[in-house]
Structure 1
Amino acid sequence: MTIDIPFIWTAFKEISKALPVTLMLTAVPLAAGFFIGLAVALIRMYRVKGLTALANGYVSFLRGTPIIMHVMLIYFGLPMLIDSAAGKLGLQAHSEEIPISVFVLLALSLSAGAYLSEIIRSGILSVSKGQIEAAYSVGMSTFQMMKRIVLPQALAQSIPNLTNIFIGFLHTSSIAFIVSQKELTGAANIVASTNLKFLEAFIAAGLIYWILTILAESVSSFVEKKATAFAKGGVQ
């Protein structure tokens, strides 16, 4: 058995066509998950009555079960709920009209929210209580204190962890292929099956993932350097 080196480049170009879908399946859940995670983190930290137990259960379940299971639960379970509710309410809506990508994005967003809530919470806890007390002493409201003092520092402290989550969900997006979403791994599987060159196709896919990971780490390093310089009041 020999490796067809020229075919790796051919597969690389063909698989790269699925790159926008992979980036969409990574960026959208992380963006939505950030706001979910922020809300959940604040609810748990401030022990909001009636919501704390729900937030704790959400984080525990989503972090304690595989993401592929979340996708399957949403993909198979949510359409049943939608069709059942539509039937009882006499509506004409049908789950078949909803794109598959919506279910995948919802599942990944909920998963991202659980993981990001812990990252955000740990970042907030890293800010010294003295700064929080000083903010209150000069008349800041809790919202102003969080917006101006706590969250900027918490997010700066969390950059490495946020980068890890991005890379993790970049790779996790590959499970979308099981519900017919053609992302990088799915495209690699199609190219491999069509040409019967599985090794070459997956080498090409691996190179694409590796390049994306290197780019993410480079951006993270640059942002972390600037955030550190800003926190210290200097310029680097």
Structure 2
Amino acid sequence: MKLDPGFIWTAFIQLLSALPTTLLITVVSVFFGFIIGTIVALIRIYRVPVLHYVASAYVTFIRGTPMLMHLLLIYFGLPAILDAIAVSAGWSFRSASIPMIDFAFLSFSITAGSYLSEVVRSGILAVNRGQIEAAYAVGMTTPQALRRIVLPQALAVSLPNLSNTLIGMLHGSTLAFTVSVVEINAKAQIVATTNWKFFESYIAAALLFWGVTILIEKLTGLLEKRINVYNRGGVL
């Protein structure tokens, strides 16, 4: 097999058109996953009756099963449920009208939520309990103490793990091609079929993912430095 460096560059340029889709899937899933994860973490920390067991089961099941399985369960199961509800209610809605990428958004958000719940929970537990008690002493409610004191510090502590989750979801976005979403991995296959140069096409895809990963690491490093300056009493 002879490597074609020229086609690697050609494929790289063509793959850039799929980059926005990959980034959109990653950002949306991490954003909503963070919201889900924060809610689940708080439910588990404060042991909310009944919901505590549901939250624990959710985290255990999602973390114990593959990401691809979550996507396939959503892709095949959700339309059947929605169509059954629509038929019984007499609605004209059908699941076929749902864009394929929405299944990826939902599935990956659920997946990210389980992992981020552990990240957020460990960050909250890392904050000194005395600070919460001090907040109560000055008249703050629990929501106020969480919003003003606990969560900002927990976010700072959790930043490296949040970065790892973001990178993991970026790489996991390649699974979206199984539901016909054209992200970087799917685009690499399409580009390669023009002349069957799959090796070069996948090298280009790997370089693109590597570049985005390095960018995330650099941005996280800069954010950590700013947070450390703030924690030392510096000026942002």
Shared fold by TM > 0.5? yes
Q: Deviations over 1:119-177 (max 9, x none)?
A: 00000000001111111111111111101110000000011000000000000000001
Question: Separation in 2 of the partners of 1:99 and 1:182?
Answer: 12
Equivalence for 1:195: 195
Residue 2 of structure 1, CA deviation: 1.4
Question: Separation in 2 of the partners of 1:167 and 1:194?
Answer: 30
Regions of 4+ moved over 4 Å: none
2:67 pairs with 1:81: no
Question: Separation in 2 of the partners of 1:3 and 1:126?
Answer: 51
Alpha-carbon RMSD: 0.9
Equivalence for 1:46: 46
Indicate the SS of the match to 1:123.
Answer: helix
Residue 194 of structure 1, CA deviation: 1.9
Equivalence for 1:207: 207
Question: Separation in 1 of the partners of 2:121 and 2:202?
Answer: 37
Question: Separation in 2 of the partners of 1:218 and 1:112?
Answer: 22
Q: Deviations over 1:151-206 (max 9, x none)?
A: 00000001100000000000000000111100000000111122210111011000
Residue 235 of structure 1, CA deviation: 4.3
Residue 48 of structure 1, CA deviation: 0.8
1:23-172 matches, cutoff 5 A: 23-172=23-172
Residue 61 of structure 1, CA deviation: 0.5
Amino acid across the alignment from 1:85: I
Output the TM-score relative to the length of structure 2.
Answer: 0.98
Equivalence for 2:186: 186
Indicate the SS of the match to 1:92.
Answer: coil
Indicate the SS of the match to 2:188.
Answer: helix
Output the TM-score relative to the length of structure 1.
Answer: 0.98
Question: Separation in 2 of the partners of 1:209 and 1:100?
Answer: 22
Question: Separation in 1 of the partners of 2:137 and 2:89?
Answer: 53
Equivalence for 1:221: 221
- Structure 1's unaligned 5+ residue stretches are none
Question: Separation in 1 of the partners of 2:22 and 2:86?
Answer: 32
| Aligned-residue identity in percent | 53
Equivalence for 1:22: 22
Indicate the SS of the match to 1:158.
Answer: helix
Residue 118 of structure 1, CA deviation: 0.4
Indicate the SS of the match to 2:219.
Answer: helix
- Structure 2's unaligned 5+ residue stretches are none
Q: Deviations over 1:14-55 (max 9, x none)?
A: 011100000011000100111111100000111111211111
Aligned residues: 236
Question: Separation in 2 of the partners of 1:140 and 1:159?
Answer: 26
